[in-house]
Amino acid sequence: MSQPLLKTVGLKKYFKVPGGFLHAVDGVDLEIPRGKTLGVVGESGCGKSTLGRSVLRLLEPTEGQVFFHGEDLLAYDKKQMRQMRQKLQIIFQDPYSSINPRLSVAEIIAEPMIVNKTFGSRREIFARVEQLMDTVGLAKRLATAYPHELDGGRRQRIGVARALAVNPEFIVCDEPVSALDVSIQAQILNLLMDLQRDMGLTYMFITHDLSVVKHISDEIMVMYLGRCVERAPSRELFKNPTHPYTKGLLSAIPVPDLKMRDKTIELLKGEVASPINPKPGCRFAPRCEQAIPQCFEQSGEMIEVAPGHFCSCGCKRA
């Protein structure tokens, strides 16, 4: 197989907090092939957003490497990184705080091009802005409108257009549809998938919504307390969830189907432990029904349980 577009090795991000270190991302290895989507799922506080920002160096990782086109991004100096940023973009969750309320729609989309001096003249920039607005499905008459005149769905389209303005190859989508209504959510998901098909974009799609992640991803990574617990091709993960946490997560989704109505579901007990100075062993062990003493002592290695399907649960093979 050709080299992946993006790859991380042992990526860690710790935050200093009173009383120790918060292990937000704790040794994550991932690979995303060009033109594909890696879905990152997990509950709040599992470090998925920190992972997305560390990959882009919006947060400086504590340890580890991020390879983009085979080159280590973390070895770049400030100037090289600024050049590189055009290839790596991000789309945010909150369509309200992610765009500057004092700039018009056209100004917001033009901003990345002005900053990176992509074009020489104003006319060229404006032509590109119009083209981008068309691509993401914004009417041209909105170019002079201000964000507060627009609804969440349209604002999110502006965010997408802004990310596309610098012709990126890789986009981190950080819960891009979580704040939107279902019907608008579907519009944005379709838009993102169309863009990927037409422009060959590569996505890292961060979300807590399992049905969305299944729909859009080629491969899915499940995170729990800063670690990747399971990684598998999308269909495989839903067919054969292996890690007890993944199983619990999948069974917790309310399905819009009456067949499941009176089925008793296996509820995960308890709550996520604190990510500050975590104990050794499997992070999920305190909530795991199948935990054996070994789980509390050493954390499981990622094992390939099926072709392309990796799981970190140690007790399965013990």
Partner 1 sequence: MSEKLLQVKNLEIQYKTDLETVYAVNGISFALDKGETLGIVGETGAGKTTAALSILRLLPEKTARIPKGEILFRGENLLLKPEAEMRSTRGEQISMIFQDPMTSLNPILTVGDQIFEALAFHNDTGMTREQMEARVDETLELVGIPRSRKRDYPHQFSGGMKQRVVIAIALACEPELLIADEPTTALDVTIQAQVLAMMNDLKHKLNTAMILITHDLGIVAQTCDHVAVMYAGEFVEYGSVFDLFTADKHHPYTDGLFGSIPNLEVETDRLQPIDGLMPDPTDLPSGCKFSPRCPKCMDICTKQKPTTYQNGTHRIACHLYSGKEVEEA
Partner 2 sequence: MKQNFKEIFRRMKKNKAAMIGLVIITLIILTAVFADFISPYEYGIKQNSKERLLPPSSTHLFGTDGNGRDVFTRVIHGARTSLTLGLVTTLISAVGGGVLGACAGYYGGRLDDFIMRVLDTIMCIPNMLLALSIVAALGSGIGNLLIAITISNIPVFARIIRAVVLSIVENDYIEAAKACGTRDWRIIHRHILKNAMGPIVIQATMSISKMILLAASLSFLGLGVQPPAPEWGTMLSEAREFMRRAPYLMIFPGAAIVLSVLSLNLVGDGLRDALDPRLKS
Told to check if 98 binds partner 2 by CB under 8 A, we report: yes
Structure-derived torsion over alpha carbons of residues 305, 308, 314, 318, reported in degrees to the nearest 10: 20
Whole-angstrom distance, CA of residue 164 vs CA of residue 198:
12
Told to check if 58 binds partner 2 by CB under 8 A, we report: yes
Told to check if 146 binds partner 2 by CB under 8 A, we report: yes
Told to check if 85 binds partner 2 by CB under 8 A, we report: yes
Shortest Cβ 273–partner 1 spacing (Å): 11
H/E stretch holding 125 reads helix 122-135
Q: How many residues bind partner 2 (CB under 8 A)?
A: 30
Told to check if 115 binds partner 2 by CB under 8 A, we report: yes
For residue 213, which amino acid is it? Answer: V
Q: Specify whether the CB–CB gap between 25 and 54 falls below 8 A.
A: yes
Told to check if 116 binds partner 2 by CB under 8 A, we report: yes
Told to check if 296 binds partner 2 by CB under 8 A, we report: no
The sheet carrying 6-17 orders its strands as 20-32, 6-17, 63-68, 71-72
Residues found near partner 1 in the complex (CB under 8 A): 43-44, 151-153, 181-187, 189-190, 193, 208, 210-212, 214-216, 235, 238, 248-249, 251-258, 260-261, 265, 267-268, 271-272
167: how many CB neighbours lie within 10 A of its CB? 15
Select the binding partner of residue 99 from partner 2, partner 1, none (C-beta < 5 to 8 A, by kind). partner 2
Whole-angstrom distance, CA of residue 214 vs CA of residue 233:
10
Q: Tokens 């969305």, residue?
A: 212
Told to check if 76 binds partner 2 by CB under 8 A, we report: no
Q: What does the binding site for partner 2 look like in residue numbers (CB under 8 A)?
A: 53, 56, 58, 81-83, 85-86, 88-90, 92-94, 97-103, 111-112, 115-116, 146, 159, 162, 165-166
